[in-house]
């Protein structure tokens, strides 16, 4: 987008066109104003419109410009945090509630895709969390045991079955989660926008919000060009792409930026496509600097990891990816990448999301920690239920908490980006 081939890469090249969403051209009113057209904002708009609630979405760039249009496209359940840890952090009320909501989030995503006919390469064959060595095997065993106690359809696979499903003998086992799957994320977010608009939501691109103020029980937002929007409730759905110089920069300050890149090969030859992830699962590993892989509808192998494709890091990450893929799949031979792109994940201190009401009737979710597709879609639905009066704030999946800046943010970000670069510089060389 904007002429930058490394912003959305393959997804921009293969997604259906975005629905027409002109910049806001005149003052307007709505029951709900939503700032940000990603998974959360557009899911909220769709579910509000389904309830007959007038809403307007204000997006500074275009639908899916942020992390929603840049991620790898794995529709996973839950969070990175082990299930047993969630109630320890959030307590006996919100912990089980969040686990239930996010455990069923992939089902919500695929239900929306089916109901609205969203063309986004949706595949629901599960995902594979692949174990590296005994330590990785111990980790996925813990996850399997804890999710199984909650009734989730997960299954431990041995090394042989994992090799058959992935196409490499590099892993000591894997955890198959049948709730999950893959999508083309930019296509999905554009499909959400189109569905919301068909139901009556107003979505406006190129409409950055410059200032906010509350007066007389309403919020008054000033959009670029001096245009004003008045709404009773506001949802700030900008997550890791919240402006640092904006009025609500405190939301951004509680997140550490976690860069993640993806590289896509040309479509694989038929014999390779039949050998690598032949069942259509998405996969990622237990490595501390993890890597992920999946196929798109055309048979391209999408391979990603932690890091930013800029400056001197670009060639380093690209070379690491080639070495790693050849180690995993020697039959690939000489590897070239047709597309490369990266984005930012918002990480919280405890790797769990946040729900805020920083001012009366102004709400925000943030901190999806790499699980944005299901989480954002689910939180959009729950916000719509809140705005419709179906539930109260204390019935939400997360407690309302104050904004708190994350400690050692700059150091964390340095470790994420530079540390991944060092690992990739040395990794898979020998």
Contact predicate 376/43, CB 8 Å: yes
In this structure, the answer to whether residues 234 and 148 fall within a common structural domain is no
Domain of 119 in residue numbering reads as 5-126+179-426
Residues 69 and 348: their CA atoms lie apart, in Å, by 21
Which is nearest to 400 in space by CA: 381, 375, 382?
382
In this structure, the answer to whether residues 364 and 352 fall within a common structural domain is yes
Rounded to 5°, angle at Cα 31 from 205 and 68: 35
pLDDT at residue 264, rounded to an integer: 98
Residue with tokens 């494709």: 309
Neighbour count for residue 45 (Cβ, 10 Å): 32
In this structure, the answer to whether residues 309 and 409 fall within a common structural domain is yes
Residues 364 and 236: their CA atoms lie apart, in Å, by 5
Strand spans (E) along 154-200: 154-158, 173-177, 181-182
pLDDT tens, residue order, the chain (430 aa): 777 889 999 999 999 999 999 999 999 999 999 999 999 999 999 999 999 999 999 999 999 999 999 999 999 999 999 999 999 999 999 999 999 999 999 999 999 999 999 999 999 999 999 999 999 999 999 999 999 999 999 999 999 999 999 999 999 999 999 999 999 999 999 999 999 999 999 999 999 999 999 988 999 999 999 999 999 999 999 999 999 988 899 999 999 999 999 999 999 999 999 999 999 999 999 999 999 999 999 999 999 999 999 998 999 999 999 999 999 999 999 899 999 999 999 999 999 999 999 999 999 999 999 999 999 999 999 999 999 999 999 999 999 999 999 999 999 999 898 989 888 988 644 3
Residue with tokens 């939180």: 379
Q: How many residues does the chain have?
A: 430
Neighbour count for residue 402 (Cβ, 10 Å): 10
In this structure, the answer to whether residues 377 and 254 fall within a common structural domain is yes
In this structure, the answer to whether residues 322 and 246 fall within a common structural domain is yes
Contact predicate 302/296, CB 8 Å: yes
In this structure, the answer to whether residues 256 and 132 fall within a common structural domain is no
Residues sharing a CB contact under 8 Å with residue 92, sequence separation 6 or more, in sequence order:
none
pLDDT at residue 290, rounded to an integer: 95
pLDDT at residue 430, rounded to an integer: 39
In this structure, the answer to whether residues 111 and 150 fall within a common structural domain is no
Domain end call among 177, 212, 239: 177
pLDDT at residue 20, rounded to an integer: 97
In this structure, the answer to whether residues 198 and 247 fall within a common structural domain is yes
Query: What is the SS3 assignment for 416?
Result: helix
Tally of structural domains, the chain: 2
In this structure, the answer to whether residues 246 and 162 fall within a common structural domain is no
In this structure, the answer to whether residues 167 and 45 fall within a common structural domain is no
In this structure, the answer to whether residues 157 and 193 fall within a common structural domain is no
pTM, two decimal places: 0.97
In this structure, the answer to whether residues 99 and 158 fall within a common structural domain is no
Residues 259 and 290: their CA atoms lie apart, in Å, by 12
pLDDT at residue 425, rounded to an integer: 85
Which is nearest to 262 in space by CA: 9, 4, 80?
9
Contact predicate 324/217, CB 8 Å: no
Helices (H), 199-287: 249-253, 270-273
Domain end call among 156, 177, 198: 177
Residues 59 and 69: their CA atoms lie apart, in Å, by 13
């Amino acid at each position: 987008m904007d002429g930058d081939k490394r912003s959305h890469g393959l997804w921009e090249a293969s997604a259906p066109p975005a629905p027409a969403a002109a910049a806001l051209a005149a003052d307007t009113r709505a029951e709900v104003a939503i700032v940000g057209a990603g998974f959360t904002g557009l899911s909220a708009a769709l579910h509000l419109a389904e309830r007959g609630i007038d809403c307007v979405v204000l997006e500074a760039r275009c639908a899916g410009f942020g992390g929603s249009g840049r991620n790898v496209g794995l529709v996973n359940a839950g969070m990175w945090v082990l299930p047993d840890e969630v109630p320890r952090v959030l307590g006996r009320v919100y912990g089980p509630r969040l686990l239930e909501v996010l455990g069923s989030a992939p089902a919500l995503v695929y239900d929306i895709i089916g109901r609205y006919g969203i063309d986004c390469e949706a595949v629901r064959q599960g995902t594979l969390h692949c174990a590296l060595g005994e330590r990785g095997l111990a980790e996925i065993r813990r996850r399997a045991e804890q999710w199984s106690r909650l009734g989730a359809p997960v299954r431990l696979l041995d090394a042989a079955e994992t090799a058959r499903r992935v196409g490499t003998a590099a892993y000591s086992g894997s955890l198959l989660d049948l709730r999950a799957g893959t999508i083309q994320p930019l296509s999905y977010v554009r499909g959400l926008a189109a569905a919301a608009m068909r139901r009556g939501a107003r979505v406006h691109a190129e409409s950055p919000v410059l200032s906010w103020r509350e007066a007389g029980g309403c919020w008054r937002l000033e959009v670029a060009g001096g245009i004003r929007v008045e709404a009773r409730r506001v949802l700030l759905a900008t997550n890791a792409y919240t402006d640092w110089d904006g009025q609500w920069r405190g939301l951004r300050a509680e997140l550490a930026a976690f860069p993640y890149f993806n590289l896509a090969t040309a479509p694989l030859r038929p014999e390779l496509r039949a050998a690598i992830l032949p069942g259509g699962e998405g996969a990622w590993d237990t490595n501390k600097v993890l890597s992920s892989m999946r196929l798109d509808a055309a048979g391209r192998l999408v391979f990603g990891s932690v890091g930013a494709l800029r400056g001197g890091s670009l060639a380093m990450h690209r070379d690491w990816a080639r070495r790693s893929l050849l180690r995993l799949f020697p039959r690939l031979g000489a590897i070239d990448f047709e597309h490369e792109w990266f984005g930012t994940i918002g990480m919280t201190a405890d790797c769990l999301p946040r729900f805020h009401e920083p001012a009366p009737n102004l709400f925000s979710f943030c901190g999806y920690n790499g699980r944005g597709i299901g989480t954002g879609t689910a939180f959009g639905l729950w916000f719509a239920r809140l705005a419709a009066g179906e539930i109260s704030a204390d019935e939400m999946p997360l407690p309302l908490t104050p904004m708190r800046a994350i400690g050692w943010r700059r150091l964390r970000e340095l470790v994420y980006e530079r540390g991944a670069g060092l690992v990739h510089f040395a990794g898979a060389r020998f």
